[in-house]
Amino acid sequence: MRIEILVFDGVDEMDVMGPFEVWSLASRRPEFELALVGLDGPAEVTGLHGLQFKASAGLSTPDALFVPGGGWMNRAEKGAWAEARRGVLTARIAELAPRLDWIGSVCTGSMLLGEAGLLKGRPATTNRGAWHELEEFGADVKHHRVVDDGDLVTAGGITAGIDLALRIVERFSSVEVADGIAAGMEYTRDRDIHVSATAK
């Protein structure tokens, strides 16, 4: 399974780096392949807090797409809010979504999924400071750290992306592999996960 993490200027660094750490460890196994990608090709990205890093490839047609957030609640000039206003990224997400095995987000990356029209009537979560805005997209907002609705998996604020990434490893490999990765990271899993009947 190829997972692409879509990055952009103003993205929250932890939204990206937490899941990246989990899936990079998982990608030592044949079930997983991981890439950081820019929307229009390889990109040099400056995160919300100034960290600069590179996405070595452009968004392709992966098996799974993960969308981080950042810069939404303060309406920053760069970040999720700005990308939603620009509309290009959300249009691409909407185009890709039907072809993906699953699409996921952490924090206000959920807002980009909402802007792409993917959340109406679906259980989802986001940063607790944006729950009310998530409802405006028609989502069935769950106050859980991770919400697994099968082909749509969302996580709460910032560090919750680590638990989402571990949940994905558990689903597509095993509990033992996910727990082993968490132990190697010296991370205690938070199992506050809402799992829809269709995702079990």
Q: Please identify every residue annotated as catalytic.
A: 107
Identify whether the C-beta of residue 6 lies closer than 8 Å to the C-beta of residue 66. Answer: yes
Closest Cα partner for 161 from 196, 118, 126?
Answer: 126
Please, what is the Cα angle at 45 between 41 and 50, to 5 degrees? 175
Tell me the C-alpha distance between 86 and 108, whole Å: 16
DSSP H helical segments within the chain, as ranges? 13-26, 80-86, 88-96, 109-115, 131-136, 160-172, 175-184
User: Residue 191: what residue type?
Assistant: R
Inter-CA distances, 48 with 8, 15, 108, 131, Å: 10, 10, 13, 21
